Structure 1
Amino acid sequence: MIKDDAQRYGWLSITVHWLSALLVIAIFGIGFYMVDLTYYDKGYHELPKLHVSLGLLLAMLLIVRIGWRVSQRGKPQPLPNHSRKIRLAAASMKHLLYLLMLVMVVTGYLINTAKGDSADFFELFSVPATWQLSSDGVDLVGEIHEIAAWLLILLALAHAGAALWHHFVIRDRTLLRMLRPGKSDPNP
């Protein structure tokens, strides 16, 4: 099943979710590692290119994800055992994750193109610079990028922790719905 329904996510939603999660972790790890590299360190020239390419891939997945969510008529509904507080927390977390990914993509693009250079996607194509930032602007955008990166990774950890809490403590189907698609559950 590729489409989402009221009980479960389809293959496309599941695939984009997990690819996004892996990308966020990889991009964060590369960014964390590369900020302290000096000119003569291994990876000084190559890791930023990989960081940018993976960031552009995350941007593409974010566009697909939002487009898919908007186009889907049916989407998985909260499980019946979820209280209003849990539903609000889950919706808030999801929207914050989307917002932080968007902030990361936009600020990363602005940092990369600040001097008028394009953002290259694995040397396959380039996204041109739209405007240049002053050095003060680059510093501000860099700070926003770093703060948003930490917030994103911390929120992603909380998201994963909540999924595990649902699975092992509450013992409901929240996590399972994002692991495998299927027909509607007779006993949600």
Structure 2
Amino acid sequence: METAVKAASNSLAYAIDIGILDIDNAEFYVTPGGFTGLKYAGKDYKRISLRRALPIGNPMEYISVADKDNKEIGMIRSLSELSEKQYSIVVTELENRYYSPTVYEVKSVKDKLGYVYLELLIGRDDVKYMKNCAVKDVNKNIRLLDDDRLAIFDVDGNRYIVQSLAKLDKKSWKRLEPYLF
């Protein structure tokens, strides 16, 4: 009986083990070709991919690390556990993967044949530019993230973030308001 209880508790622990990486034994690096690599557990993964498990709520925690065949190596519990150099490498890779420019202004909105066409002033790091995008199924693809932030997903899979609806100019707000459900 005792053996069965011990086996069950071990299988439960195994089932809920999310495979947190031992950060002290992990070394992230950039390859000569510009890819992100990882040396971990005696292996050299020359090309890895990083994915956020909680991209909206906790973007700097629970980062999945997978090899080039998309087999998970483990999870980074929190980026704050990384050294400054390792942090820089991982954050650069995540910023490239999750590029989500800020929406500064909504210049125009047009409904046509089931699509909503937006002309946006977007940017990141003080570089701003105009972008035209099409959104299908606005109920799913224009979403409030919280009381003041909004995400727009276009038909090409791009993401745009309104960091503060309250800080948008009045014209932009009036153009977006009909699509906020």
Answer 1 or 2: which has greater strand percent.
Answer: 2
Answer 1 or 2: which has greater helix percent.
Answer: 1
TM-score (norm 1): 0.21
TM-score (norm 2): 0.22
Q: Determine which structure has greater relative contact order: mean sequence separation of CA pairs < 8 Å that are 6+ residues apart, divided by chain length.
A: 1
Instruction: Kindly name which structure, 1 or 2, has the bigger radius of gyration based on alpha carbons.
Output: 2
